[in-house]
Homo-oligomer: A and B are copies of this chain.
Amino acid sequence: MKKVSLKDIATEAGVSTALVSYVLTNKDKKARVGEGMAKKIREIARKLNYQPNHIARSLKSGRSFTIGLIVADISNPFFANIARTIEDEAKKNNYNVIFGSSDENVDKSQDLINVLVNRQVDGLIITPTEGSEQQLQQLKEQKIPFVLIDRFFPGIAASYIAVNNRESAAGAVSHLIKAGRKRIGMVAYKTTLHHISERIGGYQDALQQHKIKASNSWLKKARYSHLKEDIQLAIDQLLKGKQPADAIFFATNSLAIEGLKYINTLGIRIPDELAVITFDEGEALDLFYAPVTFVRQPILEIGKAAVRVLLEQIADDTSATTAISIDTTLVIRKSCGSR
């Protein structure tokens, strides 16, 4: 009941394995295999239900037709959706995906990279964690193709697919301002990652542009590892005092959801008492009583581009990098009030 190999077919047909290989990889013309024999071999292969051993093929060819995907957390809907588009796109190109979650942790990230590289993935799609610059540098030295998504490091020449975070954030905040909000808080992650810095930068740009003197105390940062507590504290601080915030801009999906859960418990009415806007979509935001206005990242495009760029790099092997910045859309719903 062992798996059928080329040898079994060869024995059955009374020929060498080489001949079988030529036929089954459709090189029979090139290798001048007799028509009759080719047909016979194909028939035997079908009869025995031959399935090529991918591992052996990989060993020989040095290519595994596997992509390694490292996200922050596959259970986060944003990354789950990305994963889905990458899966689909990879499959179209006869690639499979091995994935891992880094939990925004440098050591886990290094671990995952090692494991995936040892498994001979042909390339990696990575959401890099804070402080993982060296890891990427090492990948470059090892000439292992990779593409960053969601974030990148301005100091490191690497292919990446990202959105124009700064402009998108500025657009979101401008929308709040145009909707009449004056005291706009922002809740971001406490991180040096570039995409978050850019979103913060965009927030500040927009305030400045509209001549709103931004108070430092309007910008709050939550630790990834202590999300709940930090967000509650942040919101408490934003909403207390005699000049409480009248709008909050959340830097991501998960921040918004955690924040809204808490805002709900406070009994604060949205958008009347507080306007809310966020990066990223999510069913939770759709279902919220005041559907949340958000910055849509074109996930399908990001996933497709990531796979495309990666496969190009795998094929090319020149170390040229491709940086793609994609525009977002502001999807306006009820959470900021209507003008």
List chain A positions with a Cβ less than 8 A from chain B: 1, 3, 51-56, 58-59, 64, 66, 73-77, 80-81, 83-84, 87-88, 91, 96-101, 114-120, 141-143, 257, 260-261, 264, 282-289
Contacts and interface: CB of A to CB of B under 8 A. Distances in A.
A169 to B, nearest CB: 23
Contacts of A3: 142
Given A66-B98, A96-B98, A287-B260, A55 B119 contact: yes
A335 to B, nearest CB: 12
A52 B120 CA distance: 10
Nearest to A3: B142
Report how many copies the assembly holds.
Answer: 2
B98 A74 contact: no
A141 B264 CA distance: 54
Nearest to A289: B289
A101 B118 contact: no
B286 A118 contact: no
Contact of A283 (B53, B66, B257): B257
Given A73-B84, A97-B99, A100-B91, A286 B284 contact: yes
A261 B284 contact: no
A1 B142 contact: yes
B66 A74 contact: no
8 contacts: A51-B114, A53-B120, A55-B64, A66-B98, A74-B83, A74-B84, A87-B100, A257-B283
A327 B7 CA distance: 50
B260 A51 contact: no
A87 B112 CA distance: 11
Contacts of A257: 283, 287
A57 to B, nearest CB: 9
A59 B101 CA distance: 27
Q: What 5 A-B pairs are tightest by C-beta distance, nearest first?
A: A80-B80, A75-B84, A284-B284, A283-B284, A289-B289
Contacts of A58: 55
Contacts of A83: 74-75, 80, 99
Given A74-B83, A287-B288, 9 more contacts: A1-B143, A51-B118, A55-B59, A59-B59, A74-B84, A77-B80, A80-B80, A257-B287, A288-B289
A87 B100 CA distance: 7
A313 to B, nearest CB: 16
Contacts of A54: 118-120
A295 B101 CA distance: 27
A81 B77 contact: no
Contacts of A75: 77, 80-81, 83-84
A87 B101 contact: yes
Nearest to A77: B77
Nearest to A83: B74
A66 B58 CA distance: 15
A54 B119 CA distance: 5
Most buried by B among A1, A51, A91, A287: A287
Nearest to A81: B75
Contacts of A120: 53-55
